Amino acid sequence: MPSDLNTKRIVKSFHGIKEVTKDPEFQKEMVVYLKSLHNYDTLIEINTRFAFGENAFDGMMRRILWHCLTRSMGEEVTIGSNVGFKHIDTFEIGSKVFIGSQTYIQGRHDGRCIIGNHVWIGPQSYFDARDMIIEDYVGWGPGAKILGSSHTGLPIEIPIISTDLEIDTVHIEPWADIGVNAVILPGITVGKGSIVGAGSIVTKNVPPFAIVAGIPAKFLRWRDGYSPKNGEK
Protein backbone atom coordinates (compact mmCIF):
# COMPACT_ATOMS: atom_id res chain seq x y z
CA MET A 1 0.00 0.00 0.00
CA PRO A 2 1.47 3.39 -1.00
CA SER A 3 2.72 5.50 1.88
CA ASP A 4 1.61 8.76 0.23
CA LEU A 5 -2.20 8.83 0.26
CA ASN A 6 -2.45 12.41 -1.02
CA THR A 7 -4.00 12.06 -4.50
CA LYS A 8 -4.89 15.72 -5.02
CA ARG A 9 -4.11 16.86 -8.57
CA ILE A 10 -5.08 19.44 -11.17
CA VAL A 11 -6.32 18.44 -14.62
CA LYS A 12 -7.55 20.45 -17.59
CA SER A 13 -11.17 21.57 -17.78
CA PHE A 14 -13.24 19.75 -20.41
CA HIS A 15 -16.65 21.37 -20.95
CA GLY A 16 -15.55 24.92 -20.22
CA ILE A 17 -12.79 25.18 -22.83
CA LYS A 18 -14.12 23.20 -25.79
CA GLU A 19 -15.11 25.12 -28.89
CA VAL A 20 -18.66 24.78 -30.19
CA THR A 21 -19.05 22.22 -32.98
CA LYS A 22 -21.96 22.77 -35.34
CA ASP A 23 -24.66 20.12 -35.40
CA PRO A 24 -24.70 17.97 -38.55
CA GLU A 25 -26.86 19.29 -41.37
CA PHE A 26 -29.04 16.16 -41.37
CA GLN A 27 -30.12 16.93 -37.81
CA LYS A 28 -31.19 20.43 -38.83
CA GLU A 29 -33.07 18.99 -41.80
CA MET A 30 -34.74 16.52 -39.44
CA VAL A 31 -35.95 19.42 -37.27
CA VAL A 32 -37.57 21.10 -40.27
CA TYR A 33 -39.09 17.81 -41.40
CA LEU A 34 -40.58 16.90 -38.01
CA LYS A 35 -42.01 20.39 -37.49
CA SER A 36 -43.67 20.18 -40.88
CA LEU A 37 -45.34 16.89 -39.99
CA HIS A 38 -46.33 17.23 -36.34
CA ASN A 39 -47.90 19.73 -33.98
CA TYR A 40 -46.49 20.64 -30.57
CA ASP A 41 -48.39 17.99 -28.60
CA THR A 42 -47.33 15.21 -30.96
CA LEU A 43 -43.70 16.31 -30.77
CA ILE A 44 -43.93 16.16 -26.97
CA GLU A 45 -45.25 12.61 -27.26
CA ILE A 46 -42.46 11.62 -29.63
CA ASN A 47 -39.88 13.05 -27.24
CA THR A 48 -41.04 10.68 -24.50
CA ARG A 49 -39.98 7.73 -26.66
CA PHE A 50 -36.37 8.86 -26.44
CA ALA A 51 -36.37 10.53 -23.01
CA PHE A 52 -34.94 7.65 -21.00
CA GLY A 53 -32.37 6.02 -23.26
CA GLU A 54 -28.66 6.24 -22.52
CA ASN A 55 -27.32 5.51 -26.00
CA ALA A 56 -26.05 8.02 -28.56
CA PHE A 57 -29.09 7.68 -30.82
CA ASP A 58 -31.53 8.54 -28.01
CA GLY A 59 -29.36 11.53 -27.10
CA MET A 60 -29.37 12.74 -30.69
CA MET A 61 -33.14 12.41 -30.95
CA ARG A 62 -33.61 14.38 -27.73
CA ARG A 63 -31.46 17.13 -29.20
CA ILE A 64 -33.47 17.15 -32.45
CA LEU A 65 -36.81 17.21 -30.64
CA TRP A 66 -35.74 19.96 -28.25
CA HIS A 67 -34.80 22.00 -31.32
CA CYS A 68 -38.37 21.47 -32.50
CA LEU A 69 -39.97 22.31 -29.15
CA THR A 70 -37.96 25.19 -27.65
CA ARG A 71 -38.27 28.85 -28.58
CA SER A 72 -34.62 28.71 -29.64
CA MET A 73 -31.64 26.42 -29.12
CA GLY A 74 -28.00 26.60 -30.20
CA GLU A 75 -25.46 24.07 -31.38
CA GLU A 76 -24.13 20.98 -29.62
CA VAL A 77 -26.60 20.79 -26.74
CA THR A 78 -26.52 17.60 -24.65
CA ILE A 79 -29.70 16.52 -22.85
CA GLY A 80 -29.25 13.66 -20.41
CA SER A 81 -31.69 10.82 -19.85
CA ASN A 82 -34.95 11.43 -17.99
CA VAL A 83 -34.75 15.23 -18.16
CA GLY A 84 -38.23 16.61 -17.49
CA PHE A 85 -39.76 19.92 -18.44
CA LYS A 86 -42.91 22.01 -18.49
CA HIS A 87 -43.66 24.73 -21.06
CA ILE A 88 -40.54 23.91 -23.05
CA ASP A 89 -41.77 26.28 -25.77
CA THR A 90 -40.64 29.21 -23.55
CA PHE A 91 -37.03 27.96 -23.28
CA GLU A 92 -34.14 29.80 -24.96
CA ILE A 93 -31.01 27.66 -24.78
CA GLY A 94 -27.55 28.60 -26.05
CA SER A 95 -24.81 26.49 -27.59
CA LYS A 96 -22.58 23.91 -25.89
CA VAL A 97 -25.03 23.40 -23.01
CA PHE A 98 -25.02 20.20 -20.96
CA ILE A 99 -28.16 19.25 -19.01
CA GLY A 100 -27.57 16.33 -16.66
CA SER A 101 -29.87 13.35 -16.23
CA GLN A 102 -33.01 13.64 -14.06
CA THR A 103 -32.96 17.43 -14.17
CA TYR A 104 -36.37 19.14 -14.19
CA ILE A 105 -37.04 22.58 -15.70
CA GLN A 106 -40.46 24.05 -14.91
CA GLY A 107 -41.34 26.99 -17.11
CA ARG A 108 -44.59 28.92 -17.37
CA HIS A 109 -46.77 29.62 -20.40
CA ASP A 110 -46.03 33.37 -20.20
CA GLY A 111 -42.59 33.01 -18.63
CA ARG A 112 -38.94 33.46 -19.55
CA CYS A 113 -36.37 30.68 -19.30
CA ILE A 114 -32.94 31.61 -20.67
CA ILE A 115 -29.87 29.37 -20.45
CA GLY A 116 -26.72 30.83 -22.01
CA ASN A 117 -23.78 29.33 -23.88
CA HIS A 118 -21.35 26.83 -22.34
CA VAL A 119 -23.55 26.20 -19.29
CA TRP A 120 -23.01 22.89 -17.48
CA ILE A 121 -25.93 21.61 -15.37
CA GLY A 122 -25.34 18.66 -13.07
CA PRO A 123 -27.76 15.72 -12.70
CA GLN A 124 -30.92 15.95 -10.56
CA SER A 125 -31.04 19.74 -10.64
CA TYR A 126 -34.34 21.63 -10.39
CA PHE A 127 -35.28 24.96 -11.94
CA ASP A 128 -38.43 26.93 -11.22
CA ALA A 129 -37.93 28.67 -14.55
CA ARG A 130 -40.99 30.91 -14.66
CA ASP A 131 -38.62 33.89 -14.92
CA MET A 132 -35.00 32.73 -14.98
CA ILE A 133 -31.82 33.89 -16.66
CA ILE A 134 -28.63 31.84 -16.53
CA GLU A 135 -25.85 33.55 -18.47
CA ASP A 136 -22.77 32.10 -20.22
CA TYR A 137 -20.20 29.74 -18.70
CA VAL A 138 -22.14 28.96 -15.53
CA GLY A 139 -21.35 25.75 -13.66
CA TRP A 140 -24.34 24.25 -11.86
CA GLY A 141 -23.68 21.55 -9.27
CA PRO A 142 -25.74 18.34 -9.16
CA GLY A 143 -28.96 18.70 -7.20
CA ALA A 144 -28.82 22.49 -6.98
CA LYS A 145 -32.13 24.34 -7.28
CA ILE A 146 -33.67 27.62 -8.31
CA LEU A 147 -36.92 28.67 -6.67
CA GLY A 148 -38.41 31.49 -8.72
CA SER A 149 -41.77 31.87 -7.06
CA SER A 150 -43.54 31.72 -3.72
CA HIS A 151 -47.08 32.01 -2.38
CA THR A 152 -48.00 35.33 -0.80
CA GLY A 153 -49.66 33.62 2.18
CA LEU A 154 -52.38 36.25 2.15
CA PRO A 155 -55.12 36.44 3.18
CA ILE A 156 -54.32 34.36 6.24
CA GLU A 157 -57.85 32.92 6.36
CA ILE A 158 -57.11 30.51 3.48
CA PRO A 159 -54.49 27.80 2.97
CA ILE A 160 -51.13 29.15 1.84
CA ILE A 161 -51.23 26.92 -1.23
CA SER A 162 -54.46 28.66 -2.26
CA THR A 163 -52.97 32.17 -2.15
CA ASP A 164 -51.54 34.03 -5.14
CA LEU A 165 -48.15 33.09 -6.54
CA GLU A 166 -45.48 35.81 -6.63
CA ILE A 167 -42.92 35.30 -9.41
CA ASP A 168 -39.57 37.07 -9.09
CA THR A 169 -36.64 36.94 -11.52
CA VAL A 170 -33.63 34.80 -10.64
CA HIS A 171 -30.51 35.92 -12.49
CA ILE A 172 -27.25 33.97 -12.54
CA GLU A 173 -24.57 36.13 -14.12
CA PRO A 174 -21.73 34.77 -16.32
CA TRP A 175 -18.95 32.56 -14.94
CA ALA A 176 -20.70 31.89 -11.62
CA ASP A 177 -20.32 28.48 -10.00
CA ILE A 178 -23.17 27.02 -7.95
CA GLY A 179 -22.29 24.23 -5.53
CA VAL A 180 -23.91 20.83 -5.12
CA ASN A 181 -27.42 20.99 -3.57
CA ALA A 182 -27.38 24.78 -3.20
CA VAL A 183 -30.74 26.60 -3.31
CA ILE A 184 -31.26 30.02 -4.90
CA LEU A 185 -34.41 31.79 -3.66
CA PRO A 186 -36.77 34.04 -5.68
CA GLY A 187 -35.53 37.46 -6.76
CA ILE A 188 -31.84 36.67 -6.25
CA THR A 189 -29.00 37.77 -8.51
CA VAL A 190 -25.79 35.77 -8.25
CA GLY A 191 -22.98 38.00 -9.50
CA LYS A 192 -20.45 37.37 -12.22
CA GLY A 193 -17.71 34.91 -11.33
CA SER A 194 -19.01 34.27 -7.82
CA ILE A 195 -18.99 30.94 -5.99
CA VAL A 196 -21.92 29.58 -3.98
CA GLY A 197 -20.85 26.83 -1.59
CA ALA A 198 -22.36 23.36 -1.58
CA GLY A 199 -25.62 23.07 0.35
CA SER A 200 -26.04 26.83 0.74
CA ILE A 201 -29.38 28.62 0.76
CA VAL A 202 -28.99 31.98 -0.95
CA THR A 203 -31.40 34.59 0.43
CA LYS A 204 -29.53 37.78 -0.61
CA ASN A 205 -27.85 38.95 -3.79
CA VAL A 206 -24.29 37.74 -4.24
CA PRO A 207 -21.74 40.33 -5.43
CA PRO A 208 -19.48 39.55 -8.39
CA PHE A 209 -16.40 37.42 -7.60
CA ALA A 210 -17.53 36.75 -4.02
CA ILE A 211 -17.49 33.39 -2.23
CA VAL A 212 -20.58 32.72 -0.11
CA ALA A 213 -21.70 29.67 1.85
CA GLY A 214 -24.01 28.54 4.63
CA ILE A 215 -27.67 28.57 5.67
CA PRO A 216 -28.42 31.32 5.00
CA ALA A 217 -25.45 31.97 2.71
CA LYS A 218 -23.03 34.57 4.04
CA PHE A 219 -20.07 36.35 2.49
CA LEU A 220 -16.80 34.53 3.23
CA ARG A 221 -14.25 36.33 1.11
CA TRP A 222 -13.43 37.63 -2.35
CA ARG A 223 -11.99 35.23 -4.88
CA ASP A 224 -8.22 35.19 -5.14
CA GLY A 225 -7.04 37.78 -7.64
CA TYR A 226 -10.08 40.04 -7.30
CA SER A 227 -9.70 43.57 -5.94
CA PRO A 228 -13.03 44.94 -4.64
CA LYS A 229 -13.99 48.40 -5.75
CA ASN A 230 -14.34 51.26 -3.26
CA GLY A 231 -17.25 50.65 -0.94
CA GLU A 232 -17.82 47.09 -2.17
CA LYS A 233 -18.40 44.53 0.51
pLDDT in tens, 201-221: 999 999 999 999 999 999 999
CB distance 104 to 82 below 8 Å: no
Give the model's pLDDT for residue 232.
66
Give the model's pLDDT for residue 3.
59
State the average pLDDT over residues 163-177: 97
Give the model's pLDDT for residue 138.
98
Give the model's pLDDT for residue 217.
98
pLDDT in tens, 56-103: 999 999 999 999 999 999 999 999 999 999 999 999 999 999 999 999
171 vs 5, residue with greater confidence: 171
Give the pLDDT band of residue 12 (cuts 50, 70, 90): confident
pLDDT at 231 over 70: no
Task: Name 56's Cβ contacts closer than 8 Å, sequence gap at least 6.
Answer: none
pLDDT in tens, 122-136: 999 999 999 999 999
pLDDT at 155 over 80: yes
Give the model's pLDDT for residue 5.
72
Cα separation of the two ends of the chain: 48
Return the CATH superfamily for domain 75-220.
Answer: Hexapeptide repeat proteins (2.160.10.10)
CB distance 183 to 145 below 8 Å: yes
Euclidean distance between CA atoms 112 and 73, whole angstroms? 14
pLDDT at 27 over 70: yes
User: Mean pLDDT score of the chain, rounded to an integer?
Assistant: 95
In eight-state DSSP terms, residue 228 is P
Domain ranges in the chain are 23-69, 75-220
pLDDT in tens, 183-194: 999 999 999 999
pLDDT at 31 over 70: yes
Give the model's pLDDT for residue 233.
62
pLDDT at 1 over 60: no
